[in-house]
Structure 1
Amino acid sequence: MAKVIPFQAVRYNTERFGKDLARFVAPPYDVIDGVMERRLKEDRLNITHITLGDENDKYTIAARRLKTWFDDGVLVKDPDSCFYIYEQTFSTPGGEPRVRSGIVAAVKLEDFSRGIIMPHEKTIPKHKADRMLHMCAMSGNTEQIFLLYDDPTEGVEAILSDARKREEVLRFVDPEGVHHRIVKVSEPELVSKISKLLEPAKLLIADGHHRYETALEYRNTMRAKDNTKEGSMPYDYIMGTLISFRNRGLVVFPTHRLITEVDPKLIQKLPKALEEEFMLKKMHGPDELAEAVERSPVPAFGVWIPASRTYLHATPKDKEKSEDPMQDLPVFMVQERVLKRFLGYTSEMIDTKVNIEYVKGTSPTKYAMASGEFQACFFVKPPSVEQVMAVAEAGQKMPHKSTYFFPKIWSGTLLYLFDR
């Protein structure tokens, strides 16, 4: 059973700075490029000075800065343990208004073998090593991970709906126009009800696989060092935002693939090679192709080869649904049946982004044109939440960068620190 408990969050001092935290917050560390990082760090109190660090020995220096912020009253700790409700209001690319809300809590870390918390994507050792250095320096979580769960009775959703009427403890609007607000739930009877409702749930990691696996490693290291009982220490838990996969505001964007520096002969032969396994339909341009992939009722992907003005909509010749949920994922088809089989890619090349770039969102054409030279762009239909759950429950992991849940859970809202 999942153990989800309230906690005392550390957060920016709103009595000093006001409730609008736009100047302090940032997207998760792993989606910030160099240009964005420099812009965010123009404010000396922005959370990126903590999540990304600055100079050499950056996390040691960031930890010192964190202490200074406490001493100077920039950050304060809530006096009581609470659940927090994180609400995001936004519009889809088609202009449809959505509201996504979830519970921010301390979630007991569980080994994947227990089947209580499940991953769905592969991780990369290099990225985990970086997060381990960060976590050791901070002694806590400076960002939330994103977890999905099933709420068949919608009991938690009813609580979330009522909580929207409360006054927020913080708010901001991000550059993409998403409105973020957080409210507190501290009443003992309501806190107890939320914990009990979430007890039977299996939790799926939607975003934050590297941070979760790092937290497991940190917990194991500290538990051996301290000789403590399971579940008795703050590091036995991780801060996460839990959102029901029935939530009407849940949106998954595709993550497309741009290919560079592949043998031109392989690119020229690709359309013919694809005919062996896929039904191909010619399109008249990249925008039409991207739209056709997005609207396809069956697993599909698109191939855009700019040099030959080739635009192909591809669906598997085998129309039977596989018993293996991974086989029906377009992102898996592109990686295993195209990049590896026909274009000479290896798993290591894909994981370390050698000759491949990942393009998030629903407007890959504009991004691809602006990015300069590329040999091919693969449009992929994003997996549904049900497909993600099926893969996780089967004990499998999707290819790297298979999902992009929008909007992101922003950093700088709440922190969970073990020694403060």
Structure 2
Amino acid sequence: MAEIRPLKGWRYQAALEPDINELTSPLFDVVSEKQRQTLYRQPYNSIHLSVPAGPNPADRAAALLSEWKKNEVLQQDVLPAIYVYYQYFTLPGSHQEYCRKGFMCHIWAYDWAEKIMLRHENTLPGSVNDRLELLDKTKMQTSATHGLYTDPHCSLEKYLDESMQAPLYETEDYQGARDVLAVIQDLRVIREFMRVLADKQVLLADGHHRYESSLTYRQKMTSQNPNHTGREAYNYHFIYLTNTENEDLKILPTHRVLTGLPFTDEAFLQKLTTDFIIIPVEDAFALNEIIAGKKWAFGLYLGGRAFKIRLKPEKFPELDWNMPPVVKDLDLTVLHYFVFERIMGIRRNHQRNFSDLQYNRNFAQCLTLVDTSQARAAFITNEVTMNEVKQVCYSGAVMPPKSTFFYPKVITGFLFSSIEQHEFESEIDSCFQLAPPQRTAGSAGFNI
């Protein structure tokens, strides 16, 4: 199903590699304003390409990229390769070190209807247009989206581990994770990667807006090219792939914060009693532990008081949103229906853009926002499981907004992917075709 291919990556010149810590940056949608201003002061930091500052940002990024290429700040690897990317990290409250293993490559930008690339959330048009303009002007993909494939045999891990014996470079990023990059240029091994992925679907974990921009760009260029063959650079997207069967693949919860309430605290609690069992909790900092692993259970912090709330099982059939059972059964669906729609009156299609409903991954900060009167209430949630992500993706539906936070985030600056045709092509491209490409009726992709 999924057609992947190696890429000739662009990387910082060797003289800059010792300063790689000063060159990487957070993804465009998580970098804070404070982080931006600090990183902008670094003349070669990758943020100048991924989140360019000032007016006409896409034009500025394109001009700067041209200058960096000319001055060899960035240089392109000669041979196409699979780039191996490991992230070593710990989780809050634990000293155990995890290692998320994956690799970066190109993948065909499949239409959603083809059911090869599967999503679990919707995109915002404004963010897609922003990424699309940047891609159109620079022809450079500055950071890989995060995709998931399922291989119970973990047949590629031995090649990943072997490549890590000679890493290209490593750094500690803004999250505290240790990021390590290695490369595989062995033709036989690359073809094995392609073979393993050829019968897989890919679940999009993170980077829906960047993928959507690549898909839109491919569709635009295809319509403008009467000689379209399917092997043009614009057909491909830059992706970081990890195996869902890796135990170190972690999803963290994203909590919900209400900055405004149309009720008093007591009135809000009274309304909740209709659908929820409410139990006072003495220590607010224990909320996340108290609800851990409990279905349809949430922590509520309201006016300096903590509660465990849990949906009354007999109320669940009243959830009348039209969606597959696997989505309806999610904790977050229950929260968004019974609290934000039924009590707050925020209709489902308006919740994503409702200004008083905010999303925060930091448990302690959620409590602080209420204590400092910056918010009225915080709902502490459990994380979505990997199995739930799979089932929702396979169902063709989407989760409530901000349901998943795959941790750690991929960083920008380790590797760049060009879709300029002359930079995309390789003299040995024919070596990477597992079978002659053939169009299928109604398909935008190829069979391999």
TM norm. shorter chain > 0.5: yes
Question: In the TM superposition, what is the alpha-carbon distance from 1:25 to its structure 2 partner?
Answer: 0.5
Question: Is 1:20–1:171's contact at 8 Å kept on the other side of the alignment?
Answer: no
Please tell me whether residue 206 in structure 1 is matched to residue 205 in structure 2. yes
Q: Secondary structure at the match of 1:16?
A: helix
Q: By how many angstroms is 1:239 displaced?
A: 0.5
Deviation at 1:361, TM superposition (A): 4.2
- Trace 1:299-338 onto structure 2 (pairs within 5 A): 299-306=296-303, 309-318=305-314, 324-338=325-339
Give 1:175 shift: 3.0
Partner of 1:217: 216
C-alpha displacement at 1:366, in angstroms? 5.6
The 1:316–1:26 alpha-carbon spacing in structure 2 relative to 1, beyond 3 Å, is farther
Q: 1:164 matched to which residue of 2?
A: 164
Question: Displacement of 1:95 after TM fit?
Answer: 2.0
Cα pair distance change 1:363/1:102, threshold 3 Å: farther
> Which amino acid is the alignment partner of residue 279 of structure 1?
I
Q: Are the aligned partners of 2:276 and 2:309 in contact in 1 as well (CA < 8 Å)?
A: no
Residue 279 of structure 1: how far off its partner (Å)? 2.8
Q: Deviations over 1:14-57 (max 9, x none)?
A: x2113551101111100012111111111011111111111111
**Residue 378 (structure 1) aligned with residue 375 (structure 2):** no
Aligned to 1:97: 97
In structure 2, C-alpha distance between the alignment counterparts of 1:123 and 1:2, rounded to whole Å:
22
Give runs of aligned pairs for residues 236-385 of structure 1, distance below 5 A.
236-265=235-264, 267-293=265-291, 295-306=292-303, 309-318=305-314, 324-347=325-348, 349-365=350-366, 368=369, 372-385=373-386
Secondary structure, counterpart of 2:20 in structure 1: coil
What is the DSSP-based 3-state SS (H/G/I as helix, E as strand, rest coil) of the residue aligned with 2:393? helix
Q: For residue 56 of structure 1, what is the aligned residue in structure 2?
A: 55
For the residues of structure 2 that align with 1:130 and 1:394, how far apart are their CA atoms?
29
How far apart are residue 291 of structure 1 and its match? 1.8
- The Cα shift of 1:304 comes to 1.3
**What's the CA shift for 1:276?**
2.6
Q: What are the superposed Cα offsets for residues 186-230 of structure 1, whole Å, 9 maximum, x if unpaired?
A: 000001111101111110000011111111111010111122445
2:257–2:366 contact (8 Å) kept in structure 1: no
Letter in 2 for 1:335: H
Aligned mates of 1:292, 1:122 — CA distance in 2:
31
The equivalent residue for 1:119 is 119
Structure 1 residue runs without a partner (length 5+): none
1:153 aligns with 2:153: yes
Give the match for residue 6 of structure 2: 6
SS of equivalent to 2:29: helix
Tell me by how many angstroms 1:161 deviates.
Answer: 2.6
For 2:412, the equivalent position in structure 1 comes to 411
Offset from partner CA, 1:145-185 (integer Å, 9 cap, x none): 000110111102232233322x1112111133211011000
Note the C-alpha offset of 1:259: 0.6
Deviates more, 1:223-232 or 1:344-353: 344-353
The 8 Å contact of residues 255 and 358 in structure 1, kept in 2 or not, is answered as yes
Distance 1:369 1:95, change over 3 A: farther
Q: Identify if the C-alpha distance between structure 1 residues 365 and 261 changes in structure 2 by more than 3 Å, giving closer, same or farther.
A: closer
The answer for unaligned runs of 5 or more in structure 2 is 424-448
Contact 1:141-1:239 at 8 Å conserved across structures: yes
Deviation, structure 1 residue 103: 1.3
| Residue aligning to 1:107 | 107
Identity %: 24
1: distance between equivalents of 2:367 and 2:191? 49
Classify the secondary structure of the residue corresponding to 1:177.
coil
Question: Over aligned residue pairs, what C-alpha RMSD do you find?
Answer: 2.1
Deviations 1:226-282 (A, max 9, x none): 2244531111110100001111221111001111122134x5323222233233322
Q: Identify the residue that residue 432 of structure 2 maps to in structure 1.
A: none
TM-score between the two structures when normalised by the length of structure 1:
0.93
- The answer to whether the Cα contact below 8 Å between 1:306 and 1:376 also exists between their aligned partners in 2 is yes
State how far apart, in whole Å, the 2-side matches of 1:208 and 1:56 are. Answer: 24
Corresponding pairs, count: 415
* Inter-partner Cα distance in structure 2 for 1:348 and 1:413: 37
Which residue identity is paired with 1:67? S
Partner of 1:25: 24
Q: Deviations over 1:282-324 (max 9, x none)?
A: 211321212212x2342322221125x2423324424999971
Cα distance between partner residues in 1 of 2:192 and 2:32 = 41
Q: How far off its partner does 1:325 sit?
A: 0.9
Query: Which is further off, 239-248 or 333-342?
Result: 333-342
> In structure 2, what is the Cα distance between the partners aligned to 1:112 and 1:313?
37
Residues in 1 aligned to 2:371 and 2:413: alpha-carbon distance in whole angstroms: 31
Determine if contact 2:301/2:370 at 8 Å carries over to the other structure.
no
8 Å contact 1:144–1:409 — kept in the other structure? yes
**Deviation (angstroms), 1:353:** 4.8
Cα pair 2:278 2:307 within 8 Å, conserved? no
CA contact (8 A) 1:283 1:313 kept: no
| Residues in 1 aligned to 2:300 and 2:313: alpha-carbon distance in whole angstroms | 16
CA distance in 2, matches of 1:117, 1:367: 39
8 A Cα contact 1:140 1:235, kept in partner: no
Moved more, 93-102 or 321-330: 321-330
1:70–1:182 distance in 2 versus 1, CA, 3 Å: same
